[in-house]
Amino acid sequence: MHKQRFIVTQRTRGKLPVGKGVLPLDVLQLDISGRPQAWISAREAAVMVACDAIAWTIGEPVMVLRGGINRCSGEQSRIAVHAIVAARGAIPARAWRHEPALSNPKLFARDRWVCAYCGQRFHESDLTREHIHPTSRGGRDHWMNCITACRSCNHRKADRTPEEARMHPLYLPYVPSLHEDMILRGRRILVDQMEFLLASVPASSRLHG
Ligand SMILES: [Zn+2]
């Protein structure tokens, strides 16, 4: 049975978790215009709160971090961290790139861990990056020429074109959008974060399927 890679976590009702040490929560960082920038740790998000580096947030706080003790009041400071935070300041130049970097985990997630040739679903460790047009014959190592294949199908197709091998992909490659890329990169995605990102993912994406 295939294990779903995206873990969508429900927010705990009422009590907020109070973090110590390494926190098991990723915060979605946006730029001030609302474009996704990165997954950051709750601790990094708390530093942004402390430095007044957050322009706006979405939803309710999902975690409270304890800080230092105030000498005068004797009270420990508490920083509430939201699941989605928008950073103040100029939009970084890299935010305008349109193509996410290609990696095997993201490619397999785009293709829902299904082999393009036999149509079966596999664990990530049994999948390979298959170049539809082989790189040894001039094919590009790019989202549009790459597809997910199981080891045996990739081995069978070898260094041949789909026509030569008489093996045609069951689905088509595509370049994920920036929002989709954030979903493909996310490890534990909260419901609020998934809703925000999916709202901007094209209906044609396999993530909706
Ligand atoms: Zn296969």
Q: Which residue has the tokens 């209906």?
A: 203
Who has greater pLDDT, 65 or 10?
A: 65
What's residue 72's pLDDT?
Answer: 80
Q: If pLDDT is split at 50, 70 and 90, which confidence band does 93 have? A: low
- Centroid of ligand 1 to alpha carbon of 175 (angstroms): 22
The alpha carbon of 148 and the centre of ligand 1 are apart by a number of angstroms equal to 9
Does the pLDDT at position 14 exceed 60?
A: no
pLDDT at residue 5 tops 70: no
Find out whether 86 and 32 touch, Cβ atoms under 8 Å. yes
Q: What pLDDT score does 64 carry?
A: 86
154 alpha carbon – ligand 1 mean position (Å): 7
For the residues 103-109, what does the mean pLDDT come to? 95
Q: What is the pLDDT of residue 16?
A: 52
Q: pLDDT band at residue 12, thresholds of 50, 70 and 90?
A: very low
pLDDT confidence of 123, banded at 50, 70, 90? very high
Ligand 1: centre distance to CA 122 (Å): 9
Distance 179 CA to ligand 1 centre (A): 28
Residue 208 Cα to ligand 1 midpoint, Å, equals 23
> What average pLDDT does the chain have?
85
Q: Which residues are close to ligand 1, an ion, with C-beta < 5 A?
A: 115, 117-118, 150, 153
